[in-house]
Amino acid sequence: MTGANYAGQLLLGDKEDRLVFEKVTFFNDLRVKQVALGKEHSVVLTSNGNVYSCGSSAQGQTGLDTFSECVLEIQKVNISNVHRVYAGQVHSVFYTSDHEMFVCGSNKSGQLGLGEIEGAAVPIEVPFFAGREVVTVAVNHAEHTLVLLVDGIIWAAGANEMNQLGLEPNLFEDRVPFFQPVESYLFFNQDMLYVASGPFHSLFISERKQ
């Protein structure tokens, strides 16, 4: 890894920045399946379904049961059988092989979709998605969360000050704390195939590649 490391987000056990790539030796004997990077934290999924993280956990985003501003040591998150991981600016999402979705971190903008809780330092299940097959989740660099289900419907929660959730402008405010379906006349008779997010905008791709 390379770059800024002031919160220990490079998985190297210290806070020194790196100007060239350095190998993360912690995973030498593990097979890494996926990595998700938040603003100041890193989440690593291994092939056996375990999750490891480090970096800033000031909002609980590492899922390590701490609100420390700097977690240097790579630690295992108390969750198993994970299929995919996703990292927003200050929150994380874990989707398991059992079709369960867990979240942790800041809920300041409602991005966890759990109502008015302040946040969570450990993974908490989102009951709404229990048993539902998730295609992908979009949270990159964002304080909002988009969830695409296999039925082609997108569900959204979190920051909405620029209507980045794609919801009806007159019905929702700047903060949406529960997941809502994204509906538009543009989607008529079309399922969605892909979603992506930026800090204040979102992109949807339909089955017609529109």
Least confident span in 41-45, 81-85, 104-108, 148-152? 148-152
Strand runs (DSSP E) across 161-207, as ranges? 175-181, 192-197, 202-206
Distance in Å from the first CA to the final CA of the chain: 35
pLDDT in tens, 49-90: 999 999 999 999 999 999 999 999 999 999 999 999 999 999
Give the pLDDT confidence score for residue 177 in this predicted structure: 95
Task: Give the Cα separation of 141 and 172 in Å (integer).
Answer: 22
Looking from the CA of 178 toward its CB, the CA atoms found within 13 Å total: 4
Backbone angles phi, psi at 127, to 5 degrees: -55, -30
Give the pLDDT confidence score for residue 112 in this predicted structure: 98
Pairing of strands 144-149, 82-87: unpaired
Split at pLDDT 50, 70, 90, the class of 207 is confident
How does the average pLDDT of the chain come out, rounded?
A: 93
As given in the structure block, the two tokens for residue 97 are 């092989």
Split at pLDDT 50, 70, 90, the class of 176 is very high
Thinking of the domain 25-206, which architecture would CATH place it in? 7 Propeller (2.130)
pLDDT at residue 210 greater than cutoff 60: no
Work out the percent of the chain whose per-residue pLDDT is above 70. Answer: 96
Work out the percent of the chain whose per-residue pLDDT is above 90. Answer: 84
Split at pLDDT 50, 70, 90, the class of 187 is low
| Region 101-123 average pLDDT | 96
Residue bearing the bigger pLDDT, 210 or 58: 58
Helix (H/G/I), strand (E/B), else coil: 129 = helix
| Region 18-29 average pLDDT | 97
Give the pLDDT confidence score for residue 172 in this predicted structure: 77
CA 12, chain centre distance (Å) = 22
pLDDT in tens, 149-172: 999 899 999 999 999 998 887 777
Least confident span in 15-29, 87-101, 129-143, 178-192? 178-192
